[in-house]
Structure 1
Protein backbone atom coordinates (compact mmCIF):
# COMPACT_ATOMS: atom_id res chain seq x y z
CA UNK A 1 0.00 0.00 0.00
CA UNK A 2 1.24 3.47 -0.87
CA UNK A 3 2.52 5.72 1.91
CA UNK A 4 -0.05 8.42 2.70
CA UNK A 5 1.46 11.86 3.23
CA UNK A 6 -0.82 13.54 5.74
CA UNK A 7 -1.67 17.19 5.35
CA UNK A 8 -1.66 19.50 2.33
CA UNK A 9 0.95 19.17 -0.39
CA UNK A 10 1.63 20.68 -3.80
CA UNK A 11 3.98 20.18 -6.73
CA UNK A 12 7.11 22.31 -6.95
CA UNK A 13 7.77 23.10 -10.60
CA UNK A 14 10.17 25.95 -9.81
CA UNK A 15 13.17 23.61 -9.78
CA UNK A 16 12.24 22.16 -13.18
CA UNK A 17 12.11 23.62 -16.67
CA UNK A 18 8.56 22.34 -16.78
CA UNK A 19 7.16 19.01 -17.85
CA UNK A 20 5.05 17.64 -20.65
CA UNK A 21 1.71 16.15 -19.68
CA UNK A 22 0.76 13.44 -22.16
CA UNK A 23 -2.69 11.86 -22.00
CA UNK A 24 -3.20 8.82 -24.19
CA UNK A 25 -5.81 6.13 -24.41
CA UNK A 26 -8.18 4.03 -26.39
CA UNK A 27 -11.89 3.30 -26.50
CA UNK A 28 -13.20 -0.16 -27.17
CA UNK A 29 -16.11 0.41 -29.56
CA UNK A 30 -16.74 -3.28 -30.33
CA UNK A 31 -15.99 -5.25 -27.14
CA UNK A 32 -16.61 -8.59 -28.88
CA UNK A 33 -13.64 -7.91 -31.20
CA UNK A 34 -11.06 -9.00 -28.65
CA UNK A 35 -8.67 -9.72 -31.50
CA UNK A 36 -8.76 -6.00 -32.34
CA UNK A 37 -8.01 -4.52 -28.93
CA UNK A 38 -6.28 -7.04 -26.64
CA UNK A 39 -2.94 -6.76 -28.44
CA UNK A 40 -3.08 -2.99 -27.90
CA UNK A 41 -2.98 -3.49 -24.13
CA UNK A 42 0.06 -5.71 -24.56
CA UNK A 43 1.70 -3.16 -26.87
CA UNK A 44 1.23 -0.38 -24.30
CA UNK A 45 2.67 -2.64 -21.61
CA UNK A 46 5.70 -3.22 -23.82
CA UNK A 47 6.15 0.51 -24.31
CA UNK A 48 6.01 1.17 -20.56
CA UNK A 49 8.50 -1.62 -19.87
CA UNK A 50 10.84 -0.19 -22.52
CA UNK A 51 10.57 3.32 -21.08
CA UNK A 52 11.15 2.10 -17.51
CA UNK A 53 14.34 0.36 -18.67
CA UNK A 54 15.46 3.47 -20.58
CA UNK A 55 14.90 6.58 -18.40
CA UNK A 56 17.12 8.54 -20.79
CA UNK A 57 14.15 8.41 -23.21
CA UNK A 58 12.48 11.07 -21.07
CA UNK A 59 9.34 9.57 -19.54
CA UNK A 60 9.22 10.57 -15.89
CA UNK A 61 6.08 8.79 -14.67
CA UNK A 62 2.88 7.19 -15.95
CA UNK A 63 -0.36 5.95 -14.40
CA UNK A 64 -3.17 4.05 -16.09
CA UNK A 65 -6.93 3.93 -15.67
CA UNK A 66 -8.94 1.14 -17.26
CA UNK A 67 -12.50 0.84 -18.46
CA UNK A 68 -14.18 0.83 -21.85
CA UNK A 69 -12.21 4.01 -22.42
CA UNK A 70 -8.68 3.73 -21.06
CA UNK A 71 -6.40 6.58 -20.15
CA UNK A 72 -2.75 6.88 -19.31
CA UNK A 73 -1.49 10.05 -17.67
CA UNK A 74 2.19 10.41 -18.46
CA UNK A 75 4.78 13.01 -17.61
CA UNK A 76 7.77 13.62 -19.88
CA UNK A 77 10.87 15.81 -19.57
CA UNK A 78 10.23 17.52 -22.91
CA UNK A 79 8.17 17.51 -26.10
CA UNK A 80 11.36 16.61 -27.97
CA UNK A 81 11.80 13.45 -25.87
CA UNK A 82 8.18 12.45 -26.46
CA UNK A 83 8.33 13.05 -30.22
CA UNK A 84 11.67 11.29 -30.56
CA UNK A 85 10.25 8.20 -28.82
CA UNK A 86 7.08 8.26 -30.94
CA UNK A 87 9.03 8.43 -34.22
CA UNK A 88 11.79 5.93 -33.37
CA UNK A 89 11.51 2.81 -35.54
CA UNK A 90 13.60 0.89 -32.98
CA UNK A 91 11.30 1.75 -30.06
CA UNK A 92 8.03 -0.13 -29.47
CA UNK A 93 5.63 2.73 -30.29
CA UNK A 94 6.17 3.07 -34.03
CA UNK A 95 5.53 -0.59 -34.95
CA UNK A 96 2.33 -0.63 -32.84
CA UNK A 97 1.16 2.63 -34.42
CA UNK A 98 1.73 1.21 -37.93
CA UNK A 99 -0.09 -2.02 -37.06
CA UNK A 100 -3.11 -0.08 -35.79
CA UNK A 101 -3.35 2.12 -38.89
CA UNK A 102 -2.73 -0.70 -41.36
CA UNK A 103 -5.13 -3.21 -39.81
CA UNK A 104 -7.66 -1.52 -37.56
CA UNK A 105 -8.17 2.19 -38.15
CA UNK A 106 -10.87 1.66 -40.78
CA UNK A 107 -12.74 -1.01 -38.77
CA UNK A 108 -13.99 1.40 -36.10
CA UNK A 109 -13.71 -1.34 -33.48
CA UNK A 110 -11.16 0.62 -31.47
CA UNK A 111 -10.63 4.35 -31.13
CA UNK A 112 -7.34 5.88 -30.04
CA UNK A 113 -6.60 9.36 -28.76
CA UNK A 114 -3.94 11.51 -27.16
CA UNK A 115 -3.47 15.05 -25.90
CA UNK A 116 -0.16 16.82 -25.20
CA UNK A 117 0.28 19.78 -22.85
CA UNK A 118 3.47 21.70 -22.08
CA UNK A 119 3.41 22.65 -18.38
CA UNK A 120 5.79 25.52 -17.64
CA UNK A 121 6.65 26.69 -14.11
CA UNK A 122 3.93 29.09 -12.95
CA UNK A 123 1.35 27.74 -15.40
CA UNK A 124 -0.15 24.96 -13.29
CA UNK A 125 -1.14 24.41 -9.71
CA UNK A 126 -2.02 21.35 -7.70
CA UNK A 127 -3.00 20.32 -4.21
CA UNK A 128 -3.01 16.88 -2.61
CA UNK A 129 -4.53 16.31 0.83
CA UNK A 130 -3.78 13.07 2.68
CA UNK A 131 -2.58 11.45 -0.55
CA UNK A 132 0.38 9.37 -1.58
CA UNK A 133 2.72 10.93 -4.13
CA UNK A 134 0.56 11.55 -7.19
CA UNK A 135 0.31 13.49 -10.44
CA UNK A 136 2.55 16.49 -10.97
CA UNK A 137 3.96 16.17 -7.46
CA UNK A 138 5.03 12.59 -8.12
CA UNK A 139 6.59 13.55 -11.45
CA UNK A 140 8.42 16.63 -10.13
CA UNK A 141 8.75 17.36 -6.42
CA UNK A 142 6.16 17.11 -3.66
CA UNK A 143 6.36 19.94 -1.10
CA UNK A 144 4.18 20.99 1.83
CA UNK A 145 1.68 23.77 1.25
CA UNK A 146 2.80 26.90 3.11
CA UNK A 147 1.31 30.32 3.76
CA UNK A 148 2.82 31.43 0.44
CA UNK A 149 1.20 28.52 -1.44
CA UNK A 150 -2.05 28.16 0.51
CA UNK A 151 -4.46 28.96 -2.32
CA UNK A 152 -4.70 28.03 -5.99
CA UNK A 153 -4.17 31.71 -6.89
CA UNK A 154 -0.99 31.83 -4.85
CA UNK A 155 0.31 28.61 -6.39
CA UNK A 156 -0.30 30.13 -9.83
CA UNK A 157 1.51 33.31 -8.83
CA UNK A 158 -1.58 35.54 -8.93
CA UNK A 159 -2.24 37.98 -6.08
CA UNK A 160 -4.46 36.46 -3.36
CA UNK A 161 -7.68 38.26 -2.34
Structure 2
Protein backbone atom coordinates (compact mmCIF):
# COMPACT_ATOMS: atom_id res chain seq x y z
CA UNK A 1 0.00 0.00 0.00
CA UNK A 2 2.88 2.33 0.77
CA UNK A 3 4.48 1.57 -2.60
CA UNK A 4 1.20 2.32 -4.40
CA UNK A 5 0.83 5.61 -2.52
CA UNK A 6 4.40 6.56 -3.43
CA UNK A 7 3.74 5.80 -7.10
CA UNK A 8 0.63 7.99 -7.05
CA UNK A 9 2.60 10.84 -5.48
CA UNK A 10 5.33 10.47 -8.11
CA UNK A 11 2.70 10.61 -10.85
CA UNK A 12 0.94 13.69 -9.46
CA UNK A 13 3.69 15.84 -7.94
CA UNK A 14 7.10 17.15 -8.97
CA UNK A 15 9.79 14.61 -8.00
CA UNK A 16 11.27 16.48 -4.96
CA UNK A 17 7.80 16.82 -3.39
CA UNK A 18 6.85 13.25 -4.27
CA UNK A 19 9.93 11.88 -2.48
CA UNK A 20 9.50 14.02 0.65
CA UNK A 21 6.78 12.04 2.57
CA UNK A 22 8.74 8.77 2.93
CA UNK A 23 11.93 10.19 4.54
CA UNK A 24 9.79 12.54 6.66
CA UNK A 25 7.80 9.62 8.04
CA UNK A 26 10.94 7.59 8.72
CA UNK A 27 12.60 10.56 10.42
CA UNK A 28 9.58 11.14 12.69
CA UNK A 29 9.50 7.49 13.74
CA UNK A 30 13.23 7.43 14.34
CA UNK A 31 13.04 10.61 16.41
CA UNK A 32 10.19 9.23 18.52
CA UNK A 33 12.09 5.98 19.11
CA UNK A 34 15.23 7.85 20.19
CA UNK A 35 13.26 10.11 22.54
CA UNK A 36 11.51 7.12 24.15
CA UNK A 37 14.80 5.26 24.49
CA UNK A 38 16.33 8.28 26.20
CA UNK A 39 13.33 8.57 28.53
CA UNK A 40 12.44 12.06 27.31
CA UNK A 41 8.93 11.11 26.16
CA UNK A 42 6.45 8.57 27.48
CA UNK A 43 7.02 4.98 26.35
CA UNK A 44 3.40 3.87 26.05
CA UNK A 45 4.24 0.25 25.13
CA UNK A 46 5.47 -0.26 28.71
CA UNK A 47 2.48 1.36 30.41
CA UNK A 48 0.98 -1.83 31.83
CA UNK A 49 4.21 -3.81 32.36
CA UNK A 50 4.54 -5.18 35.90
CA UNK A 51 8.21 -5.34 36.97
CA UNK A 52 9.60 -8.45 38.62
CA UNK A 53 8.20 -11.96 38.86
CA UNK A 54 4.52 -12.60 39.40
CA UNK A 55 2.04 -15.41 39.00
CA UNK A 56 -1.72 -15.51 38.52
CA UNK A 57 -3.83 -17.55 40.93
CA UNK A 58 -7.55 -18.12 40.46
CA UNK A 59 -9.60 -16.67 43.32
CA UNK A 60 -12.75 -18.27 44.66
CA UNK A 61 -16.12 -17.19 43.23
CA UNK A 62 -16.55 -14.95 46.27
CA UNK A 63 -13.18 -13.27 45.73
CA UNK A 64 -11.39 -15.26 48.42
CA UNK A 65 -7.61 -15.52 48.05
CA UNK A 66 -6.62 -19.16 47.45
CA UNK A 67 -4.76 -20.65 50.41
CA UNK A 68 -2.68 -22.98 48.20
CA UNK A 69 -1.09 -22.54 44.74
CA UNK A 70 -3.13 -24.02 41.90
CA UNK A 71 -5.91 -24.60 44.40
CA UNK A 72 -8.71 -24.29 41.86
CA UNK A 73 -9.08 -26.00 38.51
CA UNK A 74 -9.13 -24.13 35.20
CA UNK A 75 -10.48 -24.80 31.72
CA UNK A 76 -8.76 -23.47 28.59
CA UNK A 77 -10.83 -23.10 25.42
CA UNK A 78 -8.97 -22.23 22.21
CA UNK A 79 -11.09 -20.86 19.36
CA UNK A 80 -9.43 -20.32 15.98
CA UNK A 81 -10.35 -19.49 12.39
CA UNK A 82 -8.25 -19.44 9.25
CA UNK A 83 -8.68 -18.67 5.57
CA UNK A 84 -6.94 -20.56 2.77
CA UNK A 85 -8.20 -18.04 0.21
CA UNK A 86 -5.64 -16.09 -1.92
CA UNK A 87 -7.08 -12.86 -0.48
CA UNK A 88 -6.13 -13.94 3.04
CA UNK A 89 -7.62 -11.62 5.65
CA UNK A 90 -9.74 -9.98 2.92
CA UNK A 91 -11.36 -13.26 1.89
CA UNK A 92 -15.18 -13.55 1.88
CA UNK A 93 -16.63 -14.45 5.26
CA UNK A 94 -13.48 -14.16 7.39
CA UNK A 95 -14.38 -10.70 8.60
CA UNK A 96 -17.78 -12.02 9.72
CA UNK A 97 -16.08 -14.84 11.63
CA UNK A 98 -13.89 -12.27 13.38
CA UNK A 99 -16.89 -10.11 14.21
CA UNK A 100 -18.74 -13.06 15.72
CA UNK A 101 -15.71 -13.97 17.82
CA UNK A 102 -15.56 -10.39 19.05
CA UNK A 103 -19.27 -10.44 19.92
CA UNK A 104 -18.80 -13.63 21.93
CA UNK A 105 -15.78 -12.14 23.72
CA UNK A 106 -17.74 -9.02 24.64
CA UNK A 107 -20.67 -11.10 25.92
CA UNK A 108 -18.36 -13.23 28.05
CA UNK A 109 -16.69 -10.15 29.52
CA UNK A 110 -20.05 -8.56 30.29
CA UNK A 111 -21.39 -11.57 32.15
CA UNK A 112 -18.19 -12.85 33.75
CA UNK A 113 -19.53 -12.47 37.29
CA UNK A 114 -22.03 -15.26 36.59
CA UNK A 115 -20.73 -17.40 33.69
CA UNK A 116 -17.44 -18.75 35.06
CA UNK A 117 -15.43 -16.81 32.49
CA UNK A 118 -12.03 -15.60 33.73
CA UNK A 119 -10.30 -13.81 30.84
CA UNK A 120 -9.21 -14.06 27.23
CA UNK A 121 -6.25 -13.24 24.99
CA UNK A 122 -6.41 -12.90 21.20
CA UNK A 123 -3.57 -13.74 18.80
CA UNK A 124 -2.93 -13.41 15.07
CA UNK A 125 -0.79 -16.16 13.53
CA UNK A 126 1.17 -13.86 11.25
CA UNK A 127 3.85 -16.31 10.08
CA UNK A 128 2.01 -19.53 9.23
CA UNK A 129 0.99 -18.21 5.81
CA UNK A 130 2.14 -15.20 3.82
CA UNK A 131 -1.34 -13.72 4.17
CA UNK A 132 -1.34 -13.98 7.99
CA UNK A 133 -4.92 -15.20 7.92
CA UNK A 134 -5.35 -17.18 11.15
CA UNK A 135 -6.83 -15.67 14.31
CA UNK A 136 -7.03 -17.39 17.68
CA UNK A 137 -8.71 -16.57 20.98
CA UNK A 138 -7.70 -18.23 24.25
CA UNK A 139 -10.58 -18.25 26.73
CA UNK A 140 -10.12 -19.25 30.37
CA UNK A 141 -13.07 -20.60 32.38
CA UNK A 142 -13.39 -21.89 35.91
CA UNK A 143 -14.55 -25.29 34.64
CA UNK A 144 -15.41 -27.27 31.52
CA UNK A 145 -19.06 -27.05 32.56
CA UNK A 146 -18.86 -23.26 32.26
CA UNK A 147 -17.28 -23.57 28.80
CA UNK A 148 -19.99 -26.00 27.69
CA UNK A 149 -22.71 -23.69 29.02
CA UNK A 150 -21.23 -20.89 26.89
CA UNK A 151 -21.06 -23.17 23.82
CA UNK A 152 -24.76 -24.01 24.17
CA UNK A 153 -25.77 -20.40 24.79
CA UNK A 154 -27.73 -18.39 22.21
CA UNK A 155 -24.82 -16.34 20.85
CA UNK A 156 -22.58 -19.32 20.11
CA UNK A 157 -25.51 -21.38 18.81
CA UNK A 158 -26.40 -18.56 16.41
CA UNK A 159 -22.80 -18.45 15.15
CA UNK A 160 -22.81 -22.24 14.77
CA UNK A 161 -26.02 -22.14 12.71
CA UNK A 162 -24.55 -19.43 10.47
CA UNK A 163 -21.40 -21.51 9.98
CA UNK A 164 -23.34 -24.53 8.72
CA UNK A 165 -25.20 -22.29 6.30
CA UNK A 166 -22.01 -21.02 4.64
CA UNK A 167 -19.66 -24.04 4.71
CA UNK A 168 -20.44 -25.09 1.12
CA UNK A 169 -20.16 -21.57 -0.30
CA UNK A 170 -17.02 -20.73 1.75
CA UNK A 171 -14.80 -23.85 1.59
CA UNK A 172 -11.73 -21.66 2.12
CA UNK A 173 -12.76 -20.95 5.73
CA UNK A 174 -11.79 -23.27 8.55
CA UNK A 175 -12.60 -23.14 12.24
CA UNK A 176 -11.37 -25.22 15.18
CA UNK A 177 -11.44 -25.41 18.92
CA UNK A 178 -9.40 -27.17 21.57
CA UNK A 179 -10.53 -27.61 25.15
CA UNK A 180 -8.37 -28.54 28.13
CA UNK A 181 -9.99 -29.21 31.51
CA UNK A 182 -7.20 -28.94 34.08
CA UNK A 183 -7.80 -30.15 37.65
CA UNK A 184 -6.32 -28.39 40.70
CA UNK A 185 -2.60 -28.91 41.19
CA UNK A 186 -1.91 -29.38 37.49
CA UNK A 187 -1.36 -25.87 36.17
CA UNK A 188 1.01 -23.01 36.90
CA UNK A 189 2.28 -19.81 35.29
CA UNK A 190 5.08 -17.30 35.65
CA UNK A 191 5.45 -13.78 34.26
CA UNK A 192 8.65 -11.71 34.41
CA UNK A 193 8.57 -7.98 33.60
CA UNK A 194 5.40 -8.68 31.67
CA UNK A 195 2.12 -6.99 30.92
CA UNK A 196 -0.93 -8.90 32.19
CA UNK A 197 -1.80 -11.42 29.48
CA UNK A 198 -3.04 -14.98 29.25
CA UNK A 199 -4.30 -16.12 32.64
CA UNK A 200 -2.43 -13.13 34.07
CA UNK A 201 -4.98 -10.90 32.34
CA UNK A 202 -7.72 -11.91 34.79
CA UNK A 203 -9.57 -8.89 36.07
CA UNK A 204 -11.19 -10.92 38.85
CA UNK A 205 -10.97 -9.01 42.15
CA UNK A 206 -9.66 -10.68 45.29
CA UNK A 207 -10.20 -9.47 48.83
CA UNK A 208 -7.15 -8.15 50.65
CA UNK A 209 -6.48 -6.03 53.73
CA UNK A 210 -6.59 -2.80 51.76
CA UNK A 211 -9.74 -3.65 49.80
CA UNK A 212 -9.77 -5.39 46.42
CA UNK A 213 -6.96 -6.12 43.97
CA UNK A 214 -6.11 -8.29 40.96
CA UNK A 215 -5.23 -11.98 41.56
CA UNK A 216 -1.52 -11.50 40.78
CA UNK A 217 0.99 -12.58 43.41
CA UNK A 218 4.70 -12.08 44.01
CA UNK A 219 6.47 -15.12 42.53
CA UNK A 220 9.86 -14.43 44.11
CA UNK A 221 8.91 -15.68 47.56
CA UNK A 222 7.94 -18.89 49.34
CA UNK A 223 6.37 -21.70 47.33
CA UNK A 224 5.56 -19.47 44.34
CA UNK A 225 9.27 -19.29 43.45
CA UNK A 226 9.39 -22.56 41.51
CA UNK A 227 7.34 -24.58 39.06
CA UNK A 228 6.67 -27.39 41.57
CA UNK A 229 5.78 -24.80 44.19
CA UNK A 230 3.26 -23.07 41.92
CA UNK A 231 1.77 -26.50 41.22
CA UNK A 232 1.34 -26.96 44.95
CA UNK A 233 3.83 -29.86 44.99
CA UNK A 234 6.66 -28.29 47.05
CA UNK A 235 7.54 -25.46 49.43
CA UNK A 236 9.58 -23.62 46.76
CA UNK A 237 13.04 -24.80 47.88
CA UNK A 238 13.38 -27.63 45.34
CA UNK A 239 15.39 -25.58 42.82
CA UNK A 240 17.78 -23.77 45.16
CA UNK A 241 20.77 -25.69 43.77
CA UNK A 242 20.22 -23.91 40.43
CA UNK A 243 20.71 -20.40 41.83
CA UNK A 244 19.13 -17.77 44.08
CA UNK A 245 16.39 -16.77 41.60
CA UNK A 246 15.00 -19.98 40.08
CA UNK A 247 12.15 -19.88 37.62
Q: TM-score, normalised by structure 1?
A: 0.84
Structure-2 residue corresponding to 1:118: 181
Greater C-alpha Rg: 2
Judged with a 3 Å threshold, the aligned counterparts in structure 2 of structure 1 residues 111 and 156 are, in CA distance, closer, same or farther, namely same
Structure-2 residue corresponding to 1:152: 227
In structure 1, stretches of 5+ residues that fail to align are none
1:85 lines up with 2:150 in the alignment: yes
* Per-residue deviation, residues 75-134 of structure 1 (Å, max 9, x unmatched): 11221121112112xx21111111112321674311111111123331012110011222
In structure 2, stretches of 5+ residues that fail to align are 1-43, 60-65, 125-131, 205-214, 240-247
Taking the TM superposition and a 5 Å limit, the aligned residue runs for 1:1-161 are 1=44, 2-13=47-58, 15=66, 17-32=72-87, 34-55=91-112, 56-66=114-124, 67-88=132-153, 91-104=154-167, 107-139=170-202, 141-145=215-219, 146-159=221-234, 160=238
CA RMSD of aligned residues (A): 2.3
3-state DSSP of counterpart to 1:25: strand
Q: TM-score, normalised by structure 2?
A: 0.57
Q: Whose RCO is larger (CA < 8 A, sep 6+)?
A: 1
After the TM superposition, which parts of structure 1 deviate over 6 Å for at least 4 consecutive aligned residues?
Answer: none
Contact in 2 for aligned 1:36/1:109 (Cα 8 Å): no
Work out the CA distance in 2 between the residues paired with 1:58 and 1:126: 20
Equivalent pairs, count = 159
